[in-house]
Amino acid sequence: MRNFKALALGAAFAAVASASDVESLTKDTFPDFVKDNDLVLAEFFAPWCGHCKALAPEYEEAATTLKEKNIKLAKVDCTEEADLCQTYGVEGYPTLKVFRGPENISPYSGARKAPAIISYMTKQSLPAVSAITKDTIEDFKTQDKVVLVAYFAADDKTSNTTYTTVAEKLRDTYLFGASNDAELAKAEDATFPSLVLYKSFDEGKSVFTEKFDAEAIEQFAKTASIPLIGEVGPETYAGYMATGIPLAYIFAETPEEREELSTKLKAVAEKHRGAVSFATIDAKAFGAHAGNLNLKADQFPAFAIQDTVNNKKFPFSQDSEITAESIGKFVDEFVSGKVEPSIKSEPIPEKQEGPVQIIVAKNYDDIVLDDKKDVLVEFYAPWCGHCKALAPKYDILAALYVDGGFADKVTIAKVDATANDVPDEIQGFPTIKLFKAGERQIRD
């Protein structure tokens, strides 16, 4: 009787455990699991880790969907399996890795939401380029939000190689298909060699009309896959920056307001498609970003364009109303180069007091671009502790050059990079850069 009860309980537990489609692995079971399954996504986690807890339900959901495609999701508790986790170089939690057999391992670089995991792993499971026929194309079009299909002749090896190269590079981001069917191409408005990007939003598809080379195809994929008026957020920001196209932000506090402004500005966005990307941004959650664009960060709705390559900012006056006409005119002028970038700057110091020269945006060119001198620049933030600790040492260094009579050869300088727009890309504070004499590039 006791035994029977224990058995029944055991079975009940087993049933509960197998209700999860995520396989829990240990050092004993892991090697066989990645050997026996062609494609596995493994999560290395710790039970106390907050991001791991947030991922758990998403991961479960993805596992259930992906099971049908024979893609397995597994997890390893690194507090129990420290050696196993060390073997795979796990340094933070959660770490996600894609296994195609025990040897072929790559980091998972998608987002940590169920739809993103499903989309990412589905792409991993397909060949870099899927062969498409008239019978499979309709189904293929719906496999993801964005899919690309190239059309070229069966004996066109050059186009095939070009396209395959792009597909292998971008396979984590897009689904790629290809077809040799000339009639199908014609039905899809494409000629040999060309490609069509199908999307589940906006006009539904974009046809590539340029020369069939890798760089142009990549640029086309990045541009055409972005919605006419999308949304800037943590998941999309990098994509917008990667296009190399100026980004127009529509700041508004409520979803209704964002919707309304999108509708208003749709024609403007259409007119400038490919030259300026348009996106709304939640001013409640990300209002501080308005400050980075030299807008007042407490007055919405607001509009600004950012030159994403040179990080120049073009805020639209917050005293003017946002209408199709006013923004249409502003964007027209921006595109024809008639809008001056807004440059945030402290006033130029009346006199340079200390041995360390004070740089602001307005005297940046005069000091930093003085090509007769070596110029050492510290980019700091007033709130940064390491910068404060450095200050006295930096003063001593500057004094050494000045007192030693090297002031005409060497400038030691600093700039508050939070209060001045500088052309340099600053990743953290302090950043120190040396601009050597005779090597200066004049910025435009």
Ligand X SMILES: *[C@@H]1O[C@H](CO)[C@@H](O)[C@H](O)[C@H]1NC(C)=O
Positions marked active-site: 49, 52, 384, 387
Rounded distance, CA 233 to CA 347, Å? 33
366 closest CA partner among 413, 330, 300, 313? 413
- Kindly tell me the sign of the dihedral angle through the C-alpha atoms of 349, 370, 308, 317: positive
Under DSSP, the state recorded for 307 is E
- Amino acid code (one letter) for 112: R
Q: To the nearest whole angstrom, how small is the minimum distance from the Cβ of residue 443 to ligand X?
A: 44
- Measured CA angle at 134 (ends 179, 172), to 5 deg: 50
- Total residues at the site for ligand X (CB under 6 A)? 5
In DSSP terms, which residues pair with 341 in a beta bridge? none
194 binds ligand X, rule: CB under 6 A: no
Complex with ligand X: residue 157 or 409, whichever CB lies closer: 157
Q: To the nearest whole angstrom, how small is the minimum distance from the Cβ of residue 163 to ligand X?
A: 8
Q: To the nearest whole angstrom, how small is the minimum distance from the Cβ of residue 191 to ligand X?
A: 15
Q: Are 199 and 149 in contact (CB under 8 A)?
A: no
Please measure the distance between the N-terminal and C-terminal CA atoms of the chain and give it in whole angstroms.
87
**How is residue 403 written in tokens?**
């007192």
Complex with ligand X: residue 160 or 411, whichever CB lies closer: 160
Complex with ligand X: residue 180 or 262, whichever CB lies closer: 180
Complex with ligand X: residue 26 or 191, whichever CB lies closer: 191
Complex with ligand X: residue 154 or 285, whichever CB lies closer: 154
Complex with ligand X: residue 14 or 153, whichever CB lies closer: 153
178 binds ligand X, rule: CB under 6 A: yes
| Interstrand relation of 302-307 and 277-282 (parallel, antiparallel or unpaired) | unpaired
Per-residue CA distances from 406 to 172, 363, 398, 400, 412 (Å) = 54, 21, 10, 9, 11
- Measured CA angle at 27 (ends 58, 124), to 5 deg: 45
CA torsion 259→263→265→267, rounded to 10°? Answer: 150
Backbone conformation region of residue 101, classed left if phi is above 0, alpha if psi is from -120 to 50, else beta = left
Scanning residues 32 to 91, which ones bind ligand X (CB under 6 A)?
Answer: none
Give residue for tokens 């007091």. Answer: 353
Complex with ligand X: residue 155 or 340, whichever CB lies closer: 155
Complex with ligand X: residue 131 or 275, whichever CB lies closer: 131
Q: To the nearest whole angstrom, how small is the minimum distance from the Cβ of residue 98 to ligand X?
A: 24
Rounded distance, CA 276 to CA 223, Å? 10
**How is residue 414 written in tokens?**
């600093």
Rounded distance, CA 44 to CA 25, Å? 10
180 binds ligand X, rule: CB under 6 A: yes
Scanning residues 103 to 132, which ones bind ligand X (CB under 6 A)?
Answer: 131
3-state secondary structure of 230: strand
Q: To the nearest whole angstrom, how small is the minimum distance from the Cβ of residue 160 to ligand X?
A: 4
Site map (CB under 6 A) of ligand X, residues 144-163, x = contact: ----------x-----x---
**DSSP letter string over 387-411?**
HHHHHHHHHHHHHHHHHTT-TTTEE
Rounded distance, CA 194 to CA 207, Å? 8
283 closest CA partner among 261, 259, 300, 295? 300
3-state secondary structure of 413: strand
**What are the residues binding ligand X (CB under 6 A)?**
131, 154, 160, 178, 180
